[in-house]
Structure 1
Amino acid sequence: MYIKELSSHHDSIVNRRPAPEGATVTLPTTSVSRPMTRLSLSRGKVSESASLDESVEVGGSAHGTFRSTKSRVLLDTCSAILNRGGVAALVPSGASDAYFHSIAEQVEGFAATRSDSSAVPPGGILALPTSGSTGLPKLVALPAAGIAQFVGWGGDRFGFGPDTVSLSLSPWNFDVSLLDTWAVLASGGTVVAADEARLYDAVYLAGILTRHEPTFIQVVPSTLDALVTAGSGSAAFPSVRDVVLTGGAVARSRRAAAAQMFPAASFHNVYGSTEVNDCLIETFDAQQFSTMETLPLGSPIPGCSVYVDASGVLHQMDNTSGRADGELLVRTPWQAVGYIREGRHSPLPATSENLFPTKDRVSLRCGQLMYVGRRDRTIKIRGQRVNLEDVEHSALRTALVGMSCAWLETSTSGESLHLAYTAPGEADAAVTGLELRVAMSAHLPAYAMPNHLHAFSGPFPVNGNGKPDLHSIKSQLESARS
């Protein structure tokens, strides 16, 4: 593989020959501020905390599996296990008993066999399930030392301290909680643990915003949708200093509504994944956040190496001129040591340069990195390649919908492309399929237009990581038809 660095004066090839198989290639990184060796969350406090769920399986000090009830006791127990060098796993609070016990068995097996793999360093491991998993659950193994580094970066980057009040909207088995919960508590701040089952209760959510006056909020598209729904009465919450958006694209109309709700806030678009955690960040003022058609992914977080693989040539992301289109490859100081599969360690996929292939397609232009779509969400229909995220984004660009979800169905009669969508606001009625189809035609070629458009009267059902749950969406549509 070739490695190409982009400079402001010219493009230069760093390695003119592919790296030999197994060779070590050193790529530039920068240092991470305020390294931490232990996870200490005791300085902060949790408001609206629930009691610890009874579905807990603990194997002495070596390992523990927990439902991610938003409990102070849960966080203290997990951090204690990690600091002792054990393995702690968090599963969705609403997971079935079969799923829970399957995870617990995997964790127990991994704790017993981890020493067999030289790739697993000593120290604590936090195991989080990946979103959208099917079949046997796959767990991402995050080292406690890396989490401590990330927590230190988050505290420094956003100035967390005793006066920080973070509104935690996402489940605690979701990796976003490492920033809005773990990092805040480690800095002595307060975490307001919102009940994710009540996020679309506008009175409940507006009440939390009013009572606790949060200063920091992190959202994924579904929780941002809940926030703007709660603030649809033109309420403003000037206590909020920072709003972090992660996990996907959001319609410009929803971003504009968020900017009105939080008039004193800076807005940040953060890119990452469970395997590597956050690695890119871009900051906007309210006007930029409201009006930009698409938000750039941002610049590399200190310590993170970010490259674009353009047909075998690696272009380094370094905020300078140059252009490249391809898959995003990253390496972070806090990335996972691998997966836990069938109770044993399984390494992360990596290039010979030890970069993690994200499967996300990006475009680099003049130092600005734009998201294009998932490599593994590209389908072929009507003889053409179509990325499902392009279909979803074209619906969002119309400002006629709040959220969208596309999928391909295959039957004996052929293939059909489907798109489900929600109304742009709680008080709005969903537009007709014809209206949406006409609006989407301005952004989407005819061969990529969905065969079937499905309007949702309420919010999408979401999975344990706050993302649209396709299985539940399809089940609700089937129930509505019968």
Structure 2
Amino acid sequence: FVTGATYCEVGPGDRVAQVANPSFDPVTFEVWNTLAAGATVVMMPAVAETPLEQWIASLAAHRITVVFLTTALVDMVHRAAPGAFATLRVLLFGGETADPEMARGLCTVRPPERVLHVYGPTEATTFASFFPCTAENLAGLDRIPIGFPLQDTTLRVVGPDLDAVPDGESGELCIGGPRIATAYLGQPGLTAERFVVMPDGERVYRSGDLVRRRGDGALEFLGRKDRQVKLRGFRIELEEVERAVVATGFVTAAVVEKAGEGMAAALIGFVVPKSPTDTRADALPRLLSRALADTLPGYMVPRRWHVADSLPVTRNGKVDRPALLARLSDNARAAAGS
């Protein structure tokens, strides 16, 4: 992962922000890529633990040239202060579905020298692919590709029997190369399920991510096999609904979850409005439901909406989905008490 990295070259003159929780795998990039290149690691507080204006100012104050943030945190900073990353040489972001309009904003409003959308599960050592974002190559896209393989990495799109899937068709992403983990500690069954040997002898990791390969070779992320839910007999990919919600243009971030069971089950949408005028209690849900009715079947349109200024994030900077569902329980108890 460190040796011969060409997707994001770090040199002795760089100052790389160490922002990630030490238990979060991007710390591998922040520390080891930096030290191996003779560059400087600059310890910085987490974005969520510091007043945002102060954190943004610290990028310039500490002369930071390279930083990785999760998609949720980049969106938070960019919405609060467009152009906040202008002093950077390279901004890397990833970990969650990204709003193409947000990314286009990063590339047009006082942009860093380079913006990279990166992807990779922990089992493949931090990043496995990258996509250089520019205003030109993001034009007209409704999703940001996860892109092309890093050095010494293979990315295969396969069917259920590990057979190759033609370009343009969806399949599971299998990742190969020397950075693939050895095993899950103490879990031989799970290890055998997820780490497999291909017919040509290469050992790969079955990511559980659904992707398809574009004509230019870049991969597009379509969703997770294990985030498929059933609602009154219909199978629903939650990521597909989330992408459709963001594509309406009314929100900058969206999370959709299934709550309840049986006939009481419903899809719940948690959203951050793009315009402050859309924060009225009834306006945004009505706009979203009407827009989605044109693009999704009725059973895929969330029944309830929760509008917030921001979505809760974990210590690793990813959207805290359990916390969102806990809000539902808290609201239900409050309603029952009243």
TM-score (norm 1): 0.61
How far apart are the structure 2 equivalents of 1:291 and 1:209?
Answer: 31
Q: For residue 300 of structure 1, what is the amino acid of its counterpart?
A: P
Secondary structure, aligned partner of 1:340: coil
CA distance in 2, matches of 1:297, 1:401: 22
Q: Distance in 2 between matches of 1:200 and 1:476?
A: 24
Q: Does 1:246 align with 2:94?
A: yes
- The SS at the match of 1:158 is coil
- CA shift, 1:210, in A, is 2.8
1:251-289 C-alpha deviation (Å, 9 max, x unpaired): 123213322454242222222101112222222324434
Question: Is 1:270 aligned with 2:122?
Answer: no
Give CA deviations for 1:341-379 in whole Å, capped at 9, x if unaligned: 48x997362233222111111122423321111011111
Cα-to-partner distance string for 1:437-472 (whole Å, 9 max, x where unaligned) = 12233332222111111112x322222332211221
| Aligned residue in 2 for 1:190 | 40
Report what 1:284 is aligned to.
Answer: 133
Task: Tell whether 2:186 aligns with 1:335.
Answer: no
Match of 1:453 among 288, 299, 305: 305
Ranked by relative contact order (alpha carbons within 8 Å, sequence separation 6 or more), the top structure is 1
Give, in whole Å, the separation in 2 of the partners of 1:464 and 1:340. 23
Give how far 1:393 is off: 1.0
Q: Which residue of 2 aligns with 1:465?
A: 316
* Code of the aligned partner of 1:206: I
Q: 1:310 aligns with which of 156, 159, 164?
A: 159
The residue matched to 1:249 in structure 2 has which SS? Answer: coil
- 2:14 touches 2:66 (CA, 8 Å); kept in 1? yes
Q: Distance in 2 between matches of 1:345 and 1:153?
A: 34
Look up the equivalent residue of 1:337 and give its one-letter code: T
Which one of the candidate residues 246, 258, 264 is aligned to 1:408? 258
In 2, Cα distance between equivalents of 1:192 and 1:443 = 46
Structure 1 position 290, deviation (Å) = 6.4
Matched-pair contact (CA < 8 Å) for 2:250–2:275: no
**C-alpha contact 1:339 1:347 (8 A) present in aligned 2:** yes
1:300 paired to 2:144 = no
1:351 corresponding residue in structure 2? 196
Aligned to 1:387: 237
C-alpha contact (below 8 Å) 2:156/2:175 kept by paired residues: yes
1:442–1:453: structure 2 CA closer, same or farther, 3 Å change rule? same
Please identify, of 288-297 and 464-473, the stretch whose mean Cα deviation from structure 2 is larger: 288-297
What is the number of residues matched between the two proteins?
A: 324
Q: How does 1:113-124 map to 2 (within 5 A)?
A: none
Amino acid at match of 1:250: A
Matches within 5 A, 1:159-238: 159-196=9-46, 198=48, 201-232=51-82, 235=83, 237-238=85-86
Partner of residue 433, structure 1: 285
Q: Cα 1:176–1:228, aligned 2, differ >3 Å: closer, same or farther?
A: same
Deviation for aligned residue 1:237: 4.6
The alignment yields a C-alpha RMSD, in angstroms, of: 2.8
SS in 2 for 1:432: helix
Q: Any idea what the Cα deviations from partners look like across 1:132-159, whole Å, max 9, x if unmatched? A: xxxxxxxxxxxxxxxxxx12244x5422
**CA 1:309–1:406 in structure 2 vs 1: closer, same or farther (change >3 Å)?**
same
Distance in 2 separating the partners of 1:200 and 1:225:
16
Q: Is the 8 A contact 2:18 2:42 kept in 1?
A: yes
Structure 1: 5+ residue runs without aligned partners?
Answer: 1-149
Give the letter aligned to residue 209 of structure 2: D
SS in 1 for 2:170: strand
Paired with 2:134 and 2:150, the residues of 1 have a C-alpha distance of 19
> Is 1:422 the equivalent of 2:272?
yes
Alignment CA distance shift 1:207-1:480 (3 Å): farther
**1:216-270 C-alpha deviation (Å, 9 max, x unpaired):** 12222111123213414xx455432222222122112321332245424222222
Flag structure 2 segments of 5+ consecutive residues without an equivalent.
none
Does the 8 Å CA contact 2:169/2:213 hold for their aligned counterparts?
Answer: yes
SS for the counterpart of 1:314 is: coil
Q: How many Å apart are 1:479 and its aligned residue?
A: 3.2
